[in-house]
Amino acid sequence: MTDFLWPIRVYYEDTDAAGVVYYANYLKFMERARTEFVRSLGFEQDKLREQEGVVFVVRNVSLQLHQPARFNDELEVVSTIQKLARTNMIFKQVIHRVAESKSLCEAEIQVVSLDAEKWKPRAIPPAILQAIK
């Protein structure tokens, strides 16, 4: 499967008084990219919740911050699925400036499939597994 690319523009809301993107906000950028990744496969998370009773929840994050992004930067989030199991998957996500290859930060993010009511692990819906493979 190929990488999924998603553009991000840095606005004032994303930055802090050190003049750079606030560290936790890279996780917002990465989550936007995962949402769009899943959408690109044909799945809407609000529908998955209503119709299948499934929510995807982050369980583990390993994040390395190499260089800061700044206000007005045009970024790109490069996402790929590194590992796919019955109830969870691990995304590898790298952020770099458009037109620069050097990564600003990168993360491995484990997402689990949960029953939306019981908040317990549940098999990822087969159609999604199929689409990812």
Q: Which member of 7, 64, 83, 98 binds its own copies (CB under 8 A)?
A: 64
Q: What are the CA-CA distances from residue 7 to residues 31, 59, 107, 117 (Å)?
A: 12, 25, 17, 33
One of 7, 40, 61, 86 touching its own copies (CB under 8 A): 61
In the set 41, 71, 90, 92, which binds its own copies (CB under 8 A)? Answer: 71
- Give the dihedral sign, CA 129/35/95/78: positive
What is d(CA 107, CA 45) in angstroms, rounded to the nearest whole number?
22
16 near its own copies, rule: CB under 8 A:
yes
Tell me: does residue 13 bind its own copies (CB under 8 A): yes
Q: Is 3 a catalytic residue?
A: no
Contacting positions for its own copies (CB under 8 A): 9, 11-13, 15-20, 22-25, 27-28, 31-32, 35, 44-46, 55, 57-65, 68, 70-72, 116, 119
